[in-house]
Amino acid sequence: MMLFVALASALVALAQVDAVNVATSYSVVHHDQLAAQPRLLQKSSHIYAPTAHVVSTGHSFGHSEAPHYAPLVSKTRYTVPFLSALTQAQPQCPAPPTCIKSRYRTLDGSCNNLQNPVWGTPNRRYGRLLTPKYGDGISLPTVSVTGQELPNARVVSLVAFGEQDIPDPEYTLGNMQWGQIMTHDMSMQAGGTQSKKHPTRCCTDEGKLIGKERAPSACYPILVPEHDPAHSQTNTECINFVRTLTDREDQCTPTHPTQPAEQLTTVTSYLDLSLVYGNSDQQNAGIRAFTGGRMAVVERDGYEWPPNNPNATTECELESRDEVCYLAGDSRVNQNPGLTIMQIILLREHNRIADQLQKYNPHWDDELLFQEARRINIAQYQHINYYEWLPIFLGWENMSKNRLIYRVKGGEYINDYDPSQDPSVLNSHATAAFRYFHSQIEGRLDLVSEIRKPTGSLRLSDWFNRPSIIEAGDNYDFLTRGLATQPEELTDTNFDAEIKHFLFRRGRPFGGDLRAIDIQRNRDHGLAGYNDYREFCGFKRASTWEDLMDLISPQDVSKLQSLYPSIDDIDLTVGGSLEAHVNGALAGPTFLCILTEQFYRTRVADRFFYERGDKDIAFTREQLAEIRKASVARLFCDNGNHVTSMQPKAFLRISQKNQVVPCQQLPEVDLSLWKDLSYDNSLHSNFHYYHNYKK
């Protein structure tokens, strides 16, 4: 769906269109600097030489050392006083948790780190590698170093990024979709959602800009340029955009009057399948069956589906009362069919494991079955993340050099837990580096038969927040096979028109622009610029536009020069997305630096990481060897309705080296090794953390 390319040159002239600058009189809070130092990217033939220097000094900028950005308060056309009701209420803040030794994770991530029990819990700050670059030094969205507004996010999206449809020659759409599972598991920005209609309206339903006297203080809408190739057809003036809540709106977070605001994430930071199990005891109680260790499901036509959402009319875009809307551990479960299918697969996998454990251990009660099934499900998921999925993106050699993965045999343990490492998700990771992979999204979803023949396709924008299509006919299996057969879009500078012009269109002719939203979110979060991050990651700081050509093509540098007043204005999410990939990886060196740092921390900061040999929480060596047989192919096979065959490496396209085989030929985790463990029902109550949160 190549659209509107001819108008790109005209849009360059509009690049300096004033963006809306929402000036708010927030109170200021202190952002805790991460205690841990950045991870080295070590020398490798698979990494550009300068990247190997990435944090060779082991140094992270402190507030006093970071590049100084003078407050830049530009003239604003859109000034709204800060009157958030959140600051008026008197919250009941949770007390610090009291940790008790346990074999199992808490649902809210507390007590994972026994020295810092709240690390990694929901409603905590994102981490930072570099000091924020807010427009006023405190909280306003980023502006140019010249004091001007940055180029309009929609214009940058249209000029710097194309829409060519280039199928990836190696990787399947399931590769992209698993990435969304991981990012939803690790992060969800507080207060802002683009996946369903936001209660805070900055634009009318017809796309008209709401006057400043009526707009809420959190508004930061994306203005549509006059000659927009899509939205000018409908006289749309803006795309709704609501700023992420920060620690300054959270009265339970310690504050300091002079330090920059930090955004909050509302889910646990660990790779713990919180999107399946929820992020609190209360949330989990609403989606558990409390029998046989199982998660709650509803059965239709002999198959298990997630429970019905009691808030279906607000959580889904339903066209009739007969359409389903699912309830899960994450509110985004209904966002798109591929995501929903992955969540159903992981839900069914928990229940499959629980059923098997009950057969082997009929004396176990519900709680013990639930906790052990959850533990196994998370371990399989972590193994797939680190040994099947991440090597595609970060490169096996890079991950091995930087100790994210290890060449092990059988049930060898890896004891690399580091309690000094903060597991917080880096803002630069969640807001920029990981979002680069939006370029892999395909605008159509193929329906594929068991003989791997496409029988039709779904238009993505027709089914945002409408999961009922999954249960229609054999669509669940056909879409599952599609994830393992259809190629994802090439990881490049092109973004499918379905997410660039039709995102969450809700029956309208056009919708949002995910690339523009990424750029606007970058500024909302005050991320330091691309030039700052390339310097942080070991490259020479660019002082001329030509200096950028060591990593970015001359054509793309020319586009950047036409858009930005200064090299130092280039948004991280833009500059990083234009870099040439490091050999063996799917990212350029700056994003690779950030991604490697993040997933190192995510691993070593998790006391319950599945490869650890701590006698109080470890799998036996025999069990660990079985966990290492887990694969996404086996998940597809075990949790489909009638999926009977799959290629062994389902993130890779079918080929001579990766042929489709009967499911029974794929390696399987032998759950009989969990029979007759050395504890019984009388002991299992000791396998929990008790804390004095008011749940």
Only one residue has tokens 């590698």, namely 129
Asked, for residue 44, whether it belongs to a domain, the answer is: no
The arithmetic mean of pLDDT across residues 384-413, rounded, is 97
pLDDT score at 678? 58
Q: Which comes out higher in pLDDT, residue 367 or 206?
A: 367
What's the whole-model pTM score? 0.86
pLDDT score at 96? 86
Sign of the alpha-carbon torsion through 596, 598, 604, 610: negative
- Given a cut of 80, whether residue 486 has pLDDT beyond it is yes
Q: Write out the catalytic residue numbers.
A: 184
Confidence of residue 193 (pLDDT cuts 50, 70, 90): low
| β partners of residue 391 | none
Asked, for residue 285, whether it belongs to a domain, the answer is: yes
Q: Binding site: what residues are annotated?
A: 438
Asked, for residue 156, whether it belongs to a domain, the answer is: no
What does the pLDDT look like over 326-360, one tens digit per residue?
999 999 999 999 999 999 999 999 999 999 999 99
Asked, for residue 315, whether it belongs to a domain, the answer is: yes
H or E stretch at 352: helix 337-360
Nearest residue to 172 (alpha-carbon basis) of 658, 690, 655, 650: 650
Lowest model confidence (mean pLDDT) among 316-320, 599-603, 690-694: 690-694
Confidence of residue 9 (pLDDT cuts 50, 70, 90): very low
The arithmetic mean of pLDDT across residues 526-535, rounded, is 99
Q: End-to-end alpha-carbon separation of the chain, Å?
A: 49
Contact 573, 436 (CB under 8 A): yes
Percent of the chain at pLDDT exceeding 90: 76
Asked, for residue 575, whether it belongs to a domain, the answer is: no
What does the pLDDT look like over 394-407, one tens digit per residue?
999 999 999 999 99
149: number of CA atoms within 13 Å, CB side?
Answer: 21
Lowest model confidence (mean pLDDT) among 190-194, 459-463, 650-654, 669-673: 190-194
DSSP conformation class of 137: S
pLDDT score at 27? 25
Asked, for residue 143, whether it belongs to a domain, the answer is: no
The DSSP-derived string for 160-184 is H-B----EEEEEEHHHHHHHHHHHH
What does the pLDDT look like over 113-156, one tens digit per residue?
999 999 999 999 999 999 999 999 999 999 999 999 999 999 99
What does the pLDDT look like over 669-689, one tens digit per residue?
999 999 975 554 444 443 343
pLDDT score at 505? 81
* Cα 329–Cα 246–Cα 312 angle in degrees, nearest 5: 30
The arithmetic mean of pLDDT across residues 233-247, rounded, is 93
pLDDT score at 90? 55
pLDDT score at 17? 38
- Given a cut of 80, whether residue 2 has pLDDT beyond it is no
CA dist., res. 461 & res. 465, Å (int):
9
Confidence of residue 157 (pLDDT cuts 50, 70, 90): very high
pLDDT score at 686? 39
What does the pLDDT look like over 650-675, one tens digit per residue?
999 999 999 999 999 999 999 999 99
Write down the mean pLDDT value for the chain: 86
- Given a cut of 50, whether residue 609 has pLDDT beyond it is yes
| β partners of residue 167 | 489
The parent domain of residue 455 ranges over: 174-188+268-491+589-675
CA dist., res. 605 & res. 114, Å (int):
11
507: left (phi over 0), alpha (psi -120 to 50) or beta: left
pLDDT score at 184? 98
Q: Which residues of 173-199 are buried (b: 16+ CB within 10 A; e: fewer)?
A: bbbbbbbbbbbbbbbbbbbbbbbbeee
The DSSP-derived string for 556-602 is HHHHHHHH-SSGGG--HHHHHHHBPPPTTSSS-HHHHHHHHHHHHHH
pLDDT score at 359? 97
Tokens at 667, concatenated: 């390696």
CA dist., res. 573 & res. 105, Å (int):
34
Nearest residue to 278 (alpha-carbon basis) of 290, 287, 289: 287
Confidence of residue 23 (pLDDT cuts 50, 70, 90): very low
Total domains in the chain come to 1
Q: Binding site for heme b: what residues are annotated?
A: 438
Asked, for residue 690, whether it belongs to a domain, the answer is: no
Supply the CATH number for residue 613's domain.
1.10.640.10
Asked, for residue 247, whether it belongs to a domain, the answer is: no
Lowest model confidence (mean pLDDT) among 83-87, 632-636, 678-682: 83-87
